Structure 1
Amino acid sequence: MLVLPHPTLATRSISSSSPYNYRGHIVDHERNIELTFESGLERNALWLWLASTAIVMIQEQPAAVEYFDDDGVLHHHTFDFLAVTHAGRRALVDVKPAALVERSNIVFVQQLIREQYGTSLADRYLIRTEQHMHPDDVADAKAVLRACWVPDPDADAKVSKLVQQTSGWLLIDDLVNASGLKAAGYNAVLRLIRARHLKTSANKPISYDAHVRRVPASH
């Protein structure tokens, strides 16, 4: 049965007539809710956060925050995202091109909000730019999430059993060939990477030519 995702909870509306409007949606399949982005950077940030098992909730454009400037004038600021970790730590995040950070005065705005609210709103106040989003990491996140959108417990079990019989680094292509599952085997590898049962080699994007190794079970 088809279950449509819940609509976005974003609070900020964007004029569709604006020449700078770049709005789209990504579905958080685990929570079955649409998440809105307003730029390519925001889209990439969402890919990365959704692929991370450390993040359990993302709210785009949470309710605006009131704050006072040094002259006592009241202002409002809407953060781009609120992210919550498994440990319950909350981060309010602004996403901007690095070239616009200084001009936007966002560092000062966040400082004022932090001083006036402390940890009552969030445990951390962050600014994220393209410097925090390597294209390879974004591509990996998209690939992993797409694999998670087509769950296949049987394929996961078969590839996981193969992995348990190995030691050292393995070429993903060899692991997929050993499974005999072709694309389903590759998707299973991606899901095992996200579940942290497999570790990828550093500084190389995930592909059939990349290497992985088994992560020992923690005791």
Structure 2
Amino acid sequence: MYDETPYQPPLRSRATRSFAARSKSSVRGFLFAHLRAQARPRQIIYESNLERRVLLTFLARRDLVDIWDQPTAIPFATPSGTLRHHTPDFLAFLETGLRLAIAVKPQASVERLRFRDELAQVRGAMSPAYADELLLITDADLNDADVRNAELLHIARQTVDLGAIQTIRTVLADLKGARTFAEVLEQSGLAERGWAALICALPDGTHIFFNRHGRFLHMAEIGG
């Protein structure tokens, strides 16, 4: 049966600040993600590979409702009285209602530019109506395995097969002990259809954990 639903293009980025598409010093681009706050996928831009890695880890969070790339700038005064503006790289909205303004910067630049001092000034000037917290995330805060897993999940979500995902969920519901991907796929009978479905279904199960030292390799039941 063919899907006769009219095609709708992804929503455009909501970024309030644009930047040059090309740079000799950083990787710039965008990705598409279907967030709970929108009816269809939306373009999300990033200005560096580090921002991309941070974005992927947030998109993999089960409690993420929405994320705003390059949100409204926050005005703040420097110690000398000069008015400046800081634009967070992302503003994340969680299902608890918590709003997180996120600044992404390489650890070396944070130290060299004394960036924490600037963020302290921004944090002091930030309105409670804007965000609940202003977070600094550096490359030192990221786990390579978590980023790889988040990227794999993002890729799998691009080919949603609801029937396959439901089959995988049924298999996972009866999971006892540790199982490899291959064993779960064999039990599901889905063959190649099962890979993306299994990756998409994993975050739904609270009894599943990921191997932080590698890719999605093994699963185990927690608590019995």
1:198–1:188 CA distance, 2 compared to 1 (3 A): farther
Instruction: Provide the residue aligned with 1:62 in structure 2.
Output: 71
Instruction: Provide the residue aligned with 1:25 in structure 2.
Output: 30
Instruction: Provide the residue aligned with 1:211 in structure 2.
Output: 218
Q: 1:91-132: per-residue Cα shift (whole Å, max 9, x none)?
A: 111111111002233211221122233533211111111122
User: Deviation at 1:191?
Assistant: 1.5
In structure 2, distance between residues paired with 1:206 and 1:18: 31
CA RMSD in angstroms, aligned pairs only: 2.2
**Match status 1:180 vs 2:196:** no
Q: 1:134-186: per-residue Cα shift (whole Å, max 9, x none)?
A: 22111111111222222222222222222233311111211111112122222
Gap runs ≥5 in structure 2: 1-5
Gap runs ≥5 in structure 1: none
Contact 1:61–1:80 (Cα < 8 Å) also in 2? yes
Q: Which one-letter code corresponds to 1:50 in the other structure?
A: L
Contact 2:146–2:212 (Cα < 8 Å) also in 1? no
In structure 2, distance between residues paired with 1:54 and 1:95: 20
TM-score by length of 2: 0.86
Contact 1:197–1:214 (Cα < 8 Å) also in 2? no
| Aligned counterpart in structure 2 of residue 103 of structure 1, from 81, 103, 112 | 112
Q: Which one-letter code corresponds to 1:178 in the other structure?
A: Q
- Secondary structure of the 1:52 match is coil
Instruction: Provide the residue aligned with 2:56 in structure 1.
Output: 47
Instruction: Provide the residue aligned with 1:126 in structure 2.
Output: 135
Q: Which one-letter code corresponds to 1:42 in the other structure?
A: E
Contact 2:75–2:125 (Cα < 8 Å) also in 1? no
TM-score by length of 1: 0.88
- Secondary structure of the 1:200 match is coil
Q: How many residues align?
A: 215
**Match status 1:75 vs 2:84:** yes
- Secondary structure of the 1:7 match is coil
In structure 2, distance between residues paired with 1:110 and 1:66: 12
1:7–1:100 CA distance, 2 compared to 1 (3 A): same
1:18–1:130 CA distance, 2 compared to 1 (3 A): closer
Instruction: Provide the residue aligned with 1:88 in structure 2.
Output: 97
Contact 2:21–2:29 (Cα < 8 Å) also in 1? no
1:165–1:117 CA distance, 2 compared to 1 (3 A): closer
Identity %: 27
Instruction: Provide the residue aligned with 1:167 in structure 2.
Output: 176
1:189–1:214 CA distance, 2 compared to 1 (3 A): farther
In structure 2, distance between residues paired with 1:160 and 1:35: 29
Instruction: Provide the residue aligned with 2:3 in structure 1.
Output: none
User: Deviation at 1:201?
Assistant: 4.5
